[in-house]
Amino acid sequence: MRWWMLALLFFARIALGFQFQTAASVGGDLVTVFGIDYSDVGFLIGLFMVPGLFLALPAGAMGRYVSDRGLAFAGLSALALGGLVSGFGSGPVTIGLGRLVAGAGFLLSTLYFTKMIADWFEGREISTAMSILVMSWPFGIAMGQVGHAYLADLQDWRLPFVVASLYCAAAAAGVLLFYRAPAGRKAVQGANSTRLSRRELHLILLAGTAWGVFNAGYVAYLSFAPHRLEELGHPALQAAAVVSVASWIMIASGAVCGQIVDRFNHRNLVLIVCMTAAVVSLWLMGISGAGVAASLLFGLVGMAPAGVIMALAGEAVAPARRAFGMGIFFTVYYAIMAAAPPLAGWIFERSGTAGAPLVFGMILFACVVPAALAFRFVKTGERAVTSREDGQ
């Protein structure tokens, strides 16, 4: 049953990336129709992430009163509504309002999808399950990159928002009709608590930090690796194509990495190897002729442990407090994601070369390892204390 639930939530979570990609895919049309510039388009894209910084903790606390299925349904419904508001908007302000509504739905959906998979796979292949779930996001973005441009050419810029909203609505209906909580978890639902122990708080903060810097490093790669290749003489389209190779490969490599960790353990070793590969990949981007090799290494190895890192959130907090713990986890994630990209942009402007923000990306990826090692140290200490108490 748990694999059926994972499949359901995977296809439902594709909606998040599919809706997110709309503004980026029709950005050129918005510039033409409304007379805005590309910085305004970037602002509209970024609005999608703003609600998460403020709503993650309240969303986690809501798990005390509403079922996971109900909250995931509400999140997907907000994604559908936000897309329609943007799609039928009369200007940038209305489109931005729709992006905020959709962003709130994104936060609610991704928080409870993560919790639902953690509940189903607790102690059993959780790294594999999280890896598969996490890859639904780039899958949805890739779908949008291909589909939204076609839809916009077929009619106009509004159609991609409408189609994405229809997908979100179908996903909401699917979750509402077919999702079932694991046996024994329904009783816990009504007892959800916001009182984390000190160790749980430390663990969830470390997990959120690891996930935040990992994703911030990925954004640095996506944002500045193409510029670095252009500095080395690659045409813009070729540079973008080379960098995109990693995003396609990581969809498969993430699931493989999760399976390796679940079968053979050695989580820390896997993370050290993968983050070393990520750092080396960004360094190779600065060497003429090494762009394709760097992108392949980044997608095959560097980004492979996404689900392994996300699985830390499921390990950090007991089931009765997991919803609120996820709220803290995503608050840390959004705080890092709000600060790191502007800092990378500032580094780029000050240095005058894309190599400098890529060095910043290397530092971000390197920070994943101490955060994960500290997580495992605290977790191991907790087990040791529990064992001593049980022996008394």
With a CB cutoff of 8 Å and minimum separation 6, the contacts of 281 are 221, 246, 294, 295, 297, 298, 302
Mean pLDDT of 234-259: 84
Domain with 163, as residue range(s), is 2-179
Q: List Cα–Cα distances, 133 to 23, 26, 72, 85, 342, in angstroms.
A: 23, 27, 14, 28, 28
In tens, the pLDDT along 91-150 reads: 999 999 999 999 999 999 999 999 999 889 887 788 889 889 988 988 888 788 778 888
pLDDT interval class at 345 (50, 70, 90): confident
Residue 153 lies in a domain: yes
Of 179, 207, 240, the one marking the end of a domain is: 179
Q: Are 20 and 60 members of one domain?
A: yes
Q: Are 78 and 139 members of one domain?
A: yes
Measured CA to CA, the distance from residue 18 to residue 9 in angstroms comes to 14
In tens, the pLDDT along 327-337 reads: 899 899 988 88
Residue 87 lies in a domain: yes
Residue linked to tokens 């291909």: 146
Q: Are 56 and 107 members of one domain?
A: yes
Does position 237 have pLDDT exceeding 80, yes or no? no
Backbone angles phi and psi of 303, in degrees to 5: -95, 0
> What 8-state DSSP symbol labels residue 352?
S
Q: Which two tokens stand for residue 273?
A: 């190897």
Does position 153 have pLDDT exceeding 50, yes or no? yes
Residue 184 lies in a domain: no
Residue linked to tokens 């993430």: 254
Does position 384 have pLDDT exceeding 60, yes or no? no
What is the reported pLDDT for 144? 85
Q: Are 309 and 380 members of one domain?
A: yes
Q: Considering its fold, how many domains does the chain have in total?
A: 2
Q: Are 340 and 364 in contact (CB under 8 A)?
A: yes
What is the reported pLDDT for 305? 93
pLDDT > 70 in the chain, percent? 94
- Check which CATH number belongs to the domain holding 61 and give it: 1.20.1250.20
Of 152, 179, 206, the one marking the end of a domain is: 179
Q: pTM for this structure?
A: 0.81
Q: Which two tokens stand for residue 227?
A: 């510029």
Residue 304 lies in a domain: yes
Residue 276 lies in a domain: yes
Q: Are 104 and 158 members of one domain?
A: yes
Q: Are 160 and 228 members of one domain?
A: no
Does position 240 have pLDDT exceeding 70, yes or no? yes
Residue 185 lies in a domain: no
pLDDT > 90 in the chain, percent? 46
Higher pLDDT, 341 or 170: 170
Q: Are 215 and 124 members of one domain?
A: no
- Structural Rg of the chain based on CA atoms: 21
In tens, the pLDDT along 68-88 reads: 999 999 999 999 999 999 999
Q: Are 58 and 161 members of one domain?
A: yes
What is the reported pLDDT for 382? 58
